[in-house]
């Protein structure tokens, strides 16, 4: 499973990138609004952190078809790693289809149902982003159930779109994403940090070091 960082903060992205486990970056207008820098500067900083194989999802603000096309083309022209995020609306679907003809990759965002995912796949979205956490916020497990239905639909018809598990709230969400076979999950910085943590790892390390210290042994010179 690919692991993306869900952040527009270059400091967070650089820290996670250096851990060596990041395959992509997703941003959204809310995340960008928290950074406190001009958006073009944020974009360039992010692109300067990740390597040539790493996608960076940038979202349009327009809600009409023509506006989405114009903004998507501009964002995609910044760098070949840019994937354009479009909301799952009729205008978004129509723009996804058109942009596909131009070779511009789309991440269809704000997907909350299997029906929306089906339409996004039919329109040719490169990534489909079900917001699992926001559904679970309303009703426990409903997000994970929706995700599994979406994966079944993708399998039934061999759609090429990748399912990008989004709106991750905790470690359990990431583990569920991997268990049910999501293609990727986009994870906030604080949850990424928690993925590596386990109390038995900490306790085990403390014991290993104490035993080693007590033994008087040394590593080979």
Residues that bind ligand E4P (CB under 6 A): 6, 26, 28, 109, 129, 131, 133-134, 166-167, 186
* Rounded-to-integer distance, Cα 9 and Cα 47, Å: 12
Q: Output 128 or 221, the one with its CB closest to ligand E4P.
A: 128
- Closest contact distance (angstroms) between CB of 89 and ligand E4P is 16
Q: Output 137 or 211, the one with its CB closest to ligand E4P.
A: 137
Tokens at 174, concatenated: 């990431």
Q: Output 83 or 119, the one with its CB closest to ligand E4P.
A: 83
- Closest contact distance (angstroms) between CB of 204 and ligand E4P is 33
Nearest to 192 by CA among 70, 26, 47: 26
Asked if residue 49 lies in contact with residue 71, where contact means CB atoms within 8 angstroms, the answer is no
- Closest contact distance (angstroms) between CB of 88 and ligand E4P is 12
Name the E strands within the chain: 2-6, 24-26, 55-59, 82-87, 106-111, 127-130, 162-165, 184-187
- Closest contact distance (angstroms) between CB of 127 and ligand E4P is 9
Options 34, 37, 85, 207, the catalytic residue = 85
Q: Output 187 or 215, the one with its CB closest to ligand E4P.
A: 187
- Closest contact distance (angstroms) between CB of 99 and ligand E4P is 18
Q: Output 118 or 173, the one with its CB closest to ligand E4P.
A: 173
Helices (H), 84-124: 90-101, 114-123
Cβ within 8 Å of residue 69, ≥6 positions away:
95, 98, 99
* Rounded-to-integer distance, Cα 63 and Cα 2, Å: 29
Is 122 considered catalytic here? Answer: no
Q: Which residue has the tokens 């995340």?
A: 31
Active-site residues, by number, are: 85
């Amino acid at each position: 499973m690919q692991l993306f960082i869900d952040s527009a903060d270059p400091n967070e992205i650089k820290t996670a990138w250096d851990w060596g486990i990041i395959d992509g970056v997703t941003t959204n207008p809310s995340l960008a609004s928290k950074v406190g820098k001009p958006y073009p500067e944020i974009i360039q900083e992010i692109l300067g952190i990740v390597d040539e194989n790493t996608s960076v999802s940038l979202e349009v603000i327009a809600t009409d078809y023509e506006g989405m096309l114009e903004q998507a083309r501009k964002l995609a022209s910044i760098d070949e790693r840019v994937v354009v995020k479009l909301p799952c609306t009729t205008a978004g679907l129509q723009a996804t289809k058109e942009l596909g003809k131009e070779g511009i990759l789309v991440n269809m965002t704000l997907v909350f149902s299997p029906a929306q995912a089906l339409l996004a796949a039919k329109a040719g979205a490169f990534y489909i982003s079900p917001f699992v956490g926001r559904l679970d916020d309303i009703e426990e497990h409903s997000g994970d159930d929706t995700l599994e239905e979406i994966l079944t639909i993708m399998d039934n018809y061999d759609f090429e779109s990748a399912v990008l598990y989004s709106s991750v709230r905790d470690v359990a969400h990431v583990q569920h994403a991997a268990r049910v076979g999501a293609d990727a999950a986009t994870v906030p910085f604080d949850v990424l940090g928690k993925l590596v943590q386990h109390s038995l790892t900490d306790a085990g390390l403390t014991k290993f070091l104490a035993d080693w210290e007590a033994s008087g042994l040394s590593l080979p010179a």
